Amino acid sequence: MSLKQAKVGVVGCGNISAIYLKNSRWLDILDIVAVADLIPERAQARAAEFNIPRACTVQELLADPEIEIVINLTIPNAHAEVALAALEAGKSVYNEKPLAITRTDGRRMLELAASRGLRVGCAPDTFLGAGLQTCRKLIEDGAIGEPVAVSAYMLCHGHESWHPDPEFYYKVGGGPMFDMGPYYLTALVSLIGPIRRVTGSARITFPERTITSQPKNGAKIKVDVPTHVAGVMDFENGAVGTLVTSFDVWGHHMPNIEIYGTEGSLGVPDPNGFGGPVLLRRAGEKEWSEAALTHIYAENSRGLGVADMAYGLRTGRPHRASGQLAYHVLDVMHAFHDASREGRHIDIASGYRPVPLPVGLQHGQLDE
């Protein structure tokens, strides 16, 4: 790779930071030079574990002129505050999902970045993985004809049985749609294209949840957000999709994602992962068959999206896991809830479809 590395600072050294720090070792364009957290010990621990030169405060990190990109791995409630501060400090920012909790904060980020000539990127980047890129190539090569419809399901019974701090799943910015919708919707927008209108129905099934995990076993959570959200989407290309996300379901037989085309059906792998299997059943066939993966990055490659943004900064090309894409996803997630409350379809004005990755990339690199 001939491109100059980007110096990167990570803000937020919790759970998910480990995989970013680990993968930055092989994502050639990224050079993580500092980590910060509200809890200094967490930053110090991650710096020691991953050989990062510096653990510091958020203020020190943002004041460092050598840092070009901030990776924002804070909790959803802090995404906007940290991202806006990074942009104010003249740095491009890549956020964990969701982009922000409100549309207003999401728009402020995009506007500030545009006015400063900076970039905003956002997870998830699983759509850049081998599984979902293979699906996209199959669709674009005509394997299932024109996409007609999509079914997508994320059904479970919530996270209070295992997560040590599950309260946030039931507060504004949480719920099954905001938690998992970004994976599903980002995958669908990449595979099929932007969404032009949605409707939906949502409910709160259990107004109170009891934590059964440790250390808060027995504590109650007041549920503030819908925990079953059933959405219908019209894509710009005419395909009709259903997406159901739920924390109210004990068991089910539904697939993660299936795409139905005029010439066949595609079984899409879990959009919260990078690999396969990719299943195909063409018109007239009685069985599904597994398609060979056409792209690399089948293992957990979190960080690809920010590496792709760094390539964009160097070459001037757009980046794929972009703020515009994440804003479109945020807009759609809100619109399902708005539609349920207001009893109508909601038109979606936002929209962005990332270009696919090419085949034949070297591991650790993206296209220039």
Ligand X SMILES: NC(=O)c1ccc[n+]([C@@H]2O[C@H](COP(=O)([O-])OP(=O)(O)OC[C@H]3O[C@@H](n4cnc5c(N)ncnc54)[C@H](O)[C@@H]3O)[C@@H](O)[C@H]2O)c1
The helix (H) or strand (E) run that includes residue 62 is: helix 58-63
Q: Which residues bind ligand X (CB under 6 A)?
A: 11-16, 37-39, 42, 58, 73-76, 78, 81-82, 96-97
Distance set, CA 25 to CA 34, 76, 244, 304, 364 (Å): 14, 26, 37, 12, 9
Between 78 and 148, CB nearer to ligand X: 78
Q: How far is the CB of 96 from ligand X (least distance, A)?
A: 3
Percent of the chain that is helix, strand, coil (3-state, to 5): 35, 25, 45
Q: How far is the CB of 242 from ligand X (least distance, A)?
A: 24
CA distance 144 to 22: 37
**Which residues have CB under 8 Å from 251's CB, separation 6+?**
none
Q: How far is the CB of 316 from ligand X (least distance, A)?
A: 29
Q: How far is the CB of 40 from ligand X (least distance, A)?
A: 10
Between 242 and 272, CB nearer to ligand X: 272
Both tokens assigned to 38: 């509200």
Between 15 and 115, CB nearer to ligand X: 15
Q: How far is the CB of 213 from ligand X (least distance, A)?
A: 15
CA distance 39 to 44: 9
- The amino acid occupying position 99 is L
Between 5 and 272, CB nearer to ligand X: 272
Q: Which residue has the tokens 């972009």?
A: 322
Between 64 and 258, CB nearer to ligand X: 64
Between 96 and 308, CB nearer to ligand X: 96
Residue nearest to ligand X (CB): 14
Q: How far is the CB of 74 from ligand X (least distance, A)?
A: 4
Look at the chain and count its residues.
Answer: 368
Between 36 and 239, CB nearer to ligand X: 36
CA distance 336 to 346: 8
Quick count: other Cβ atoms within 10 Å of Cβ 272?
A: 14
CB 32 within 8 A of CB 10: yes
CA distance 113 to 330: 18
The helix (H) or strand (E) run that includes residue 310 is: helix 304-315
Q: How far is the CB of 102 from ligand X (least distance, A)?
A: 15
CB 109 within 8 A of CB 100: yes
Between 13 and 195, CB nearer to ligand X: 13
CA distance 154 to 279: 18
Between 3 and 19, CB nearer to ligand X: 19
Task: Say whether 202 sits in a helix, a strand or coil.
Answer: strand
Q: How far is the CB of 88 from ligand X (least distance, A)?
A: 14
Q: How far is the CB of 314 from ligand X (least distance, A)?
A: 26
